[in-house]
Chains A and B, each alone.
Chain A
Amino acid sequence: MIEVFLMLFGEAVMVFGALGILRFPDVYTRLHAASKCDTGGAMGIILALILIMDAPAVVRAKFLVLAFLIAMINPMVSHAIARGAYKYGVKPKVVVDMYAWDNP
């Protein structure tokens, strides 16, 4: 029963992440939707797969390694994209920009 809820939660979060990428105004806010919703949705689906799958425990532990790698790599990639976009010259639509104060 709980694996159905986890699967539905993961897919709903993925749908909201895709909607966020379409609706938000600029690169940085879109990255919010991409990084958080991808991590949460993928981890929900992976936990559901661990519970559904009919396999020995060592094979299920591989999915935990996969979840750990997703949780490590996804924020790092979004950080790299945000910094690269800022250095390339994409102006953020913000009310206060302390990064531009320190790097004129």
Chain B
Amino acid sequence: MSRVPFYLKERLENLKGRVLHEQFEASDLPAWERVVLTWAVLMAFWVVISASFGPGNLVTGAAVTLVIAAFMRDLLTADIRRTGHIVEKLLYFAFIYLPQYIVIMAFRLLESNLRVAKNVILMDINPGIIKIKTDLHSDTGIAILANSITLTPGTLTLDVNKKLGETYLYVHWIEVETLNREKAGEKIKGDIEEWLKKVFW
């Protein structure tokens, strides 16, 4: 009597994990799109860093970055969530998602600076290490989420733990308000995770 629900639950978790893996494999970008995306990013970086528009400079940069992009195509683009056509996705990213992220992070960075100044003056700290759960699965998404959490007010990421297909973050919180995992996650992650789930897997 007591063993059957556990068995069924374990079986269901197994199946859910396999469906997630299949979706992840199916949502991979084709190879040439990955090469073109990496090439565009590297070429933009080359133009900005070298700061000259002579034809020899541009041709050299294009050739070298094409060779690098052909070899390193999975480095930047392996974790991008695929919905719709690639051009539509790029336009959405450049004109909606990226300004949204920059505005969110700029205001939270401002708030966190003011809050550290307040904490330094008043010394009203009550620190603790809290464990929260995220819904992201890819390495790039988790890395960007952890960096964003470090820059938001009052929190600092300590470690990441992947267990049974779920990802947990350990966060050092300078002023512990709640110990409940869901409430703490809502308060710490805010709308950054919603943003990241639209772009990364």
Write the residues of chain A forming the contact surface with B, with a CB cutoff of 8 angstroms. 12-13, 16-17, 19-20, 23-25, 28-29, 31-33, 35-37, 39-41, 43, 56, 58-59, 61-62, 64-65, 71-72, 75-76, 78-79, 82-83, 86, 92-100, 102
Contact = CB atoms under 8 A, between A and B. Distances in A.
B109 A75 contact: no
B141 interface: no
B127 A33 contact: no
B125 A29 contact: yes
Given A65-B49, A79-B150, A95-B127, A16 B156 contact: no
Contacts of A62: 48-49, 51
A95 B127 CA distance: 6
B110 interface: yes
Interface stretch (B27-35, B76-84, B171-179, B188-196): B171-179
Given A58-B51, A62-B49, A78-B156, A37 B116 contact: yes
Nearest to B47: A58
Given A62-B51, A82-B156, 9 more contacts: A20-B116, A36-B153, A65-B49, A71-B105, A86-B159, A94-B127, A94-B172, A98-B130, A102-B161
11 contacts: A16-B116, A16-B120, A25-B125, A35-B151, A39-B151, A78-B150, A78-B156, A92-B129, A95-B126, A95-B127, A99-B158
B128 A17 contact: no
